[in-house]
Structure 1
Amino acid sequence: MMEWGDWELREWSSALAARSLGFGLLGGESGPDEWASRLLEDRSLAGLVSEIEAEAARMLGEPEPELTDELFRMFAETGDRLAYEKVYFARRKRLCAFGVMSWLRPEEEAYRDSLHRTAWSICNEFTWCLPAHYGEKRGRFGNIDLFAAETGFALAELSALLGDRLDAELRAQIGMEMERRLFEPFLEQGPYPWERLENNWSSVCAGSIGAAALYGIRDTDRLVRVLERVHVSMACFLAGYGEDGACVEGYGYWQYGFGYYAYYSDLLKRATGGAIDGFAIPKVKGIALFQQRCFSCGDMVVNFSDSPQRSGIFMGLTLRLRDEFPEVALPEAALRAPFAADHCGRWAPAVRNLIWAAEARGALLAKASELRKAAGDTETSAHVGWPTEAHFMTDAAWLMSRYVAEDGSVYSFAAKGGHNGESHNHNDCGHFLLHADGEVYLADLGSGMYTKQYFGPERYTFWCNGSQGHSLPIVRGQLQQEGAEHRAVVTKVLLSDVEDELGLELSGAYPKGAGLLGLERSFQWRKTDGPSLVLVDRFTMAEAPLDALRQDEPIVERFITLLEPKRVEEGVLMLEGGHRLYISYHPEAWRPVITTRSDLNHAGEERHWYTLDFVPLAEGAVGGREEAAFQFSFQKK
């Protein structure tokens, strides 16, 4: 099988030497002006172009945001990341919007003038690295982190795309900044820790440096030195995925990390005339298919790990992947990510959402129209593009099951095994979700606000990261523990048209002090017009007390929901949204306790939700076998 290490870059030095500026972003015979006209005339892109233009026009009236030493110091002094990052990313948004509009609307001098001011301002930043990643200083500009690398990529590509529309002095400055902030430290001060990480860092950092080098390094031997290191990182990135293609970091990090893998691979494939093709590695196809396997309905995500609950889709990336792999699903056009949704203002995905979508020649709209017609619906249907299907991703131990009923309602169940030492890990072995028609009934909180503490020793005190904030048992006061040794064991998987089953052994995810000899969790997802889930937990406890075992602590069954549980009758609670989810339990054995909770989401905004705890009414024998059974049944209102 083809792997990154199979390509000897020096064999392709002649192909690399023949590349020209602008080779990769546009390709073909058309130049920037012809491409700009094509994009403006493409009706399927009119909405996205209007969004970018509106953002650029709004920012024309705003002063250039200023990064200060005071903002930079806040992370070290208080752990706060948002104050500095808000200004940092506002500058990147300006670079992106003004860059696109300077290309598409060259007659509008205000865009070009503002682009020059923003680009000069970024070139003059004392570091492109975020305070949270500054770490060990390597040279006068600090570390190369995700965003330093992205910034270099963006400036390099902008310079190649706009050419003479940028002042010669600015283009020269961009070249110098790439050299002293990226290429020289990468070659002379590395290796960097991220070069061999098996997560998004390796692809984003290395892919951005490699892309910038393809544009900015004219010496072929020196370029090869850079790309050889980049290829090692790309191999490490792919090693972080199993053969099932699942991204255990969550969908947002798939979009991010695999996106930059694709941006770089596409540029290199074009630069070498197809001789080096990162899409040809067999594992890549499975990764490309992950997107359609982790949406439950519409823009609702199966959001295990540090993932948002909802996400727009990068249509350019999706269509480019579909060019390589016809099995990639074309989602409904309405699911396109708005330009403003990327708070980081990243150039690479934004411009490709235009160019790669245009290269698809309207296939997205044609497919969406075809699917709507087949469904007998002239309006956007929530399930168009996401059909009934079930997948068990073996390496990650994720089960995703989506059922589209005859009336068009969409119901989804997802559960995970895995281990508690994953990248962007949550202690969540055995956790599960229930969604219906774009609403969350049993929830994953996703990612919280990123702070110094969030990625430090206090990580699992945060609700969204520790098992206390997941739909999991609390055993004698003990929570699941972090570390790859704390894991689930898959005991059963059965997928069919009418029913899916998953069995997990979870005792290994808990500390020995919990006194667990066994914890078998089974899910039975019955797919009918009123789908239901039967959850059974079987606990086998130690016969003799352990030192860390507190006899007065009961086993608590916890569930996480965004909807307030309401009592219907004895033994039945209800979560009410567009549908009703009834929760049935044995009232003689369990007492429900409902508690309102809150924390901060990824944007630093307060969010409210509920823990639904079932506490046993009578304590069983410590050495015995205890069982908890619950049924979750959907009914349409």
Structure 2
Amino acid sequence: MKESGEKITKPLMEDAEITEISEAAETAEIPEIAEAVGRMSPAGLHFYYPEGDASRFWRKVRSSREYAADLAEIRSEGERIRGTTPPNLTYSLFSQFAKKGSRLEYERAYFERRRRLNTFAFLSLLEPECEDYHTELLDAIWEICSELTWCLPAHINPQRPVSETIDLFAAETGFTLAELRLLLGDRLPELLWTQLTELVCDRLLRPFLEKGPYEWEEAEHNWSAVCAGSIGSAALLLLDGNREREMLTRILEKTQRSMTYYLKGFGDDGACLEGLGYWNYGFGYFVYYADLLHKRSRGELNWFSQKKVKAIASFQQKCFLGGNAVVNFSDALPHGSVHIGLSRYIASKYESALSPPTRLRADYREDHCSRWAPALRNLLWRELAGDAQDWEPGDFMLEDAGWLISRMISQEGVFGFAAKGGHNDEPHNHNDLGQFMLAGGGEFFLSDLGCGEYTKDYFSTARYAYDCNGSQGHSVPIINGCLQAAGSGRTASILEYASSGMESLLTVELSEAYDCEGLHSFKRFWQWHKSELPSLVLKDEFSFANQPGSLVERFVTLIQPEELGEGRLSLSRSDLALELVYNHRQLEAEVTERSYRDHFGKDQVWYTLDFHVLQTERHLELSFLFQFIRL
């Protein structure tokens, strides 16, 4: 199989075009990048396979038990879609977002086309002798190349031509095609080779240099990492030779700048405020780019030497609360899996980054967006680090984020507790200061609803009317009729934190979260007791200038509560329950069944446990006990 540079008969851009772009690109000079580019060797299969031997690697994947589940999943998808017609990306589907604010109709068809591309690419690499698989792959590439745009409708701005727009998925698509160009080598017909090369240049590389700046270039969240990382990766794979070095240098300089902004979105604690799913996404594409940059520069350009990158790499192992239950503040899902390739790669880089249990490996079919880059590396990087039986117990105080996460293990099982401070202007923000969750046996008893269905309104001024985003959908009080307000000035202050083998304590001041006249102070205190069957004591202290008209303590669960008598409620799952004990002389309980649309557009039932203060006072102290018990 030939490597990338062997089939190109002319450079992607002529000298005059490169000079024009260089003059137009407004980026800071970074001499070390220019010097490193001058010493770079061409991209090749050795970036991906040991000794560049693709045949040996795919033979091992076919025969090794380590990959058996992956193969079964890929082949299952192949059987499902083989012989079917790819869905059309019609104008009617595309216009649904503008007309109704709905994203799912177009995105389902769009991502199904990516699933076809990925699946037949894997099958063709695994079984190169099968012409049917390769034909299906070439058709899938042709379909992708024929799309009017690689962007999603939700990311099209009327102020910018579609042809100049670069969003997450356009960038990912270009990176995918650039990578397939290298991996397929001379198995890719000249027409498709030329077409995908020119499209990546026209839709990503040229606009990135000529048509910016793009808003995401300075984003302190996943967009900068995914968009810039994908463009930088595509450039590293496509651009070679003396006449393209200036263009490659400019792209890498701009990518370097965007990656710096991405890292600015993290504190020194390495916490991803967007949650584990967006850590996999944004940090994943950061790593994929950093890996290719490190390899092509022969180690000269090394993002992995940065202290903050090392801290971010350890975030995943802190998020799991038992089983696949994960801390899901913000727009995150309550249950997660690991990208085994990404995880093993960073475990091979840092001793502090633990290799995850294989049982948490993401199924190939799990990613509804069908992203090629992580799917490929789940195979390529599988053996870079060993397996682990389970995550270790521990308390993790992420001070910059204001999160406390505790995972404990006893003879009764694995239990988890998490609480948050922070502020109400975070990426994918929820108004949720003081929110907390409890998990046992891999299931949630007190929950965070996480992310809802992404629509136009979901990211508009109506955002906090959605229960999963507003404080009404979180385990925080409603004070004198007031919900929490949004904004960077709505902050929580950590007053106390302590941890030992027996308990963890956290106290925060939350009055700044509420635009509530007369509220002087609201302190929330958690005491997590790590007994065989753990318990949590919650104490809230309120101070007002005048007697408030009302005060409601709210807790959120997906379990229908059962009354056990005065002052006691129970939340049961199988043989484990969480009992809630409260002062029934001070509080009146009210249980309400509600529903919301989850991230996949399905209606989900949830419950609010509201405790109305019977007699409000200027100074109030309320206390609750949450105790795990065996049934």
TM range (shorter): over 0.9
Q: Helix, strand or coil: the match of 1:344?
A: coil
* Aligned partners of 1:23 and 1:270 also within 8 Å: no
- Within 5 A, what are the aligned runs for 1:147-158? 147-158=169-180
Give the corresponding residue for 1:466: 470
Aligned position for 1:437:
441
1:142-541 matches, cutoff 5 A? 142-218=164-240, 219-360=244-385, 363-364=386-387, 368=388, 384-407=389-412, 409-513=413-517, 515-541=518-544
Letter in 2 for 1:506: L
CA positional deviation for 1:139: 4.7
For residue 45 of structure 2, what is the aligned residue in structure 1? 22
Q: How far has the Cα of 1:500 moved from its partner?
A: 0.2
Match of 2:567 in 1: 571
What is aligned with 2:592?
595
Question: 1:48-127 counterparts in 2 under 5 A?
Answer: 48-127=70-149
Q: Which residue identity lines up with residue 443 of structure 2 in the other structure?
A: E
How far residue 13 of structure 1 moved from its aligned partner, in angstroms, is: 2.1
State the match for 1:376 in structure 2. Answer: none
Displacement of 1:61: 2.6
Specify the code of the residue in structure 2 equivalent to 1:309.
P
Q: CA deviation at 1:505?
A: 0.3
Distance (whole Å) between structure 1 residues aligned to residue 154 and residue 42 of structure 2: 37
What's the secondary structure of 2:381's corresponding residue? helix
Which residue identity is paired with 1:435? A
SS in structure 2 opposite 1:587? Answer: coil
- For residues 14 and 147 of structure 1, the distance between their equivalents in structure 2, rounded to whole angstroms, comes to 30
In 2, the alpha carbon distance for the partners of 1:7 and 1:59 equals 49
- RMSD over aligned Cα atoms: 1.5
Tell whether the 8 Å contact from 1:460 to 1:466 is kept in structure 2 after alignment.
Answer: yes
Is 1:35 the equivalent of 2:57? yes
Instruction: Decide which moves more: 345-354 or 50-59.
Output: 50-59
Deviates more, 1:59-68 or 1:423-432: 59-68
Deviation for aligned residue 1:138: 4.2
Q: Distance in 1 between matches of 2:366 and 2:31?
A: 37
Letter in 1 for 2:400: D
1:502 partner amino acid:
L
Map of 1:9 onto structure 2 = 33
Gaps of 5+ in 1: 369-383, 545-550
Indicate if the aligned counterparts of 1:42 and 1:358 stay in contact, CA closer than 8 A.
Answer: no
Distance in 2 of aligned mates of 1:168 and 1:136: 36
Do the aligned residues in 2 keep the contact of 1:25 with 1:267 (CA within 8 Å)? Answer: no
Change over 3 Å in CA distance of 1:149–1:319 after alignment to 2: same
Q: Deviations over 1:171-206 (max 9, x none)?
A: 110001001100111110011110000000000000
- Using the alignment, how far apart are the partners of 2:153 and 2:164 within structure 1? 10
Contact 2:503 2:528 (8 Å CA) reproduced: yes
Q: What is the CA deviation profile of residues 497-535 of structure 1, one whole-angstrom value per residue up to 9, with x for unaligned ones?
A: 10100000000000043x311000000001101211110
Residue 583 of structure 1 is matched in structure 2 by: 580
Deviation string 1:356-393 (CA, Å, 9 cap, x unpaired) is: 00444xx22xxx4xxxxxxxxxxxxxxx4222210100
Secondary structure of the 1:125 match is coil
Within the alignment, does 1:614 sit opposite 2:605 as a pair? no
Distance in 1 (CA, whole Å) between partners of 2:92 and 2:570 is 50
Indicate the residue corresponding to 1:548 in structure 2: none
Contact kept, 8 Å, 1:139 with 1:185, in 2: the verdict is no
How many positions carry a matched residue from both structures? 600
Alpha-carbon distance in structure 2 between the residues aligned to 1:60 and 1:110: 9
- Tell me, what secondary structure is at the counterpart of 1:428? coil
Provide closer, same or farther for how the CA distance between residues 6 and 172 of structure 1 changes in structure 2, counting only shifts above 3 A.
Answer: closer
| Superposed CA offset, 1:293-331 (max 9, x none) | 011012111111110111111010000001101222222
- List alignment gaps of at least 5 residues for structure 2: 1-27
| Counterpart secondary structure, 1:247 | coil
Counterpart amino acid of residue 208 in structure 2: F
Alignment partners' CA distance in 2, 1:585 and 1:50:
51
Partner of 1:555: 551
State the secondary structure of the residue aligned to 2:537: strand
**What is the match of residue 624 of structure 2?**
630
Deviates more, 1:446-455 or 1:93-102: 93-102
- CA distance in 2 between counterparts of 1:486 and 1:7 reads 42
Letter in 2 for 1:460: Y
Deviating more after overlay: 63-72 vs 384-393: 384-393
Contact 2:121 2:137 in 1 (8 A): yes
Contact 1:32 1:162 in 2 (8 A): no
Q: Distance in 1 between matches of 2:354 and 2:251?
A: 35
Distance (Å, rounded) in 2 between the aligned partners of 1:160 and 1:316? 20
The AA in structure 1 aligned to 2:602 is E
CA deviations on 1:103-149 (whole Å, 9 max, x unpaired) are 11111111111111111111111111110001145455241000000
d(CA) in 2 for partners of 1:229 and 1:40?
A: 40
Q: Which amino acid aligns with 1:262?
A: V
- The one-letter amino acid of 1:571's match is G
Q: Aligned equivalents of 1:278 and 1:29: distance in 2? A: 24
Comparing 150-159 and 572-581, the one that deviates more: 572-581
CA distance 1:61–1:190, shift in 2 (3 Å): same
Q: Deviations over 1:224-243 (max 9, x none)?
A: 11010000000000000000
| Partners of 1:630 and 1:606 in 2: CA distance | 30
C-alpha distance in 1, partners of 2:430/2:109? 29
| TM-score normalised to structure 1 length | 0.92
SS at match of 2:166: coil
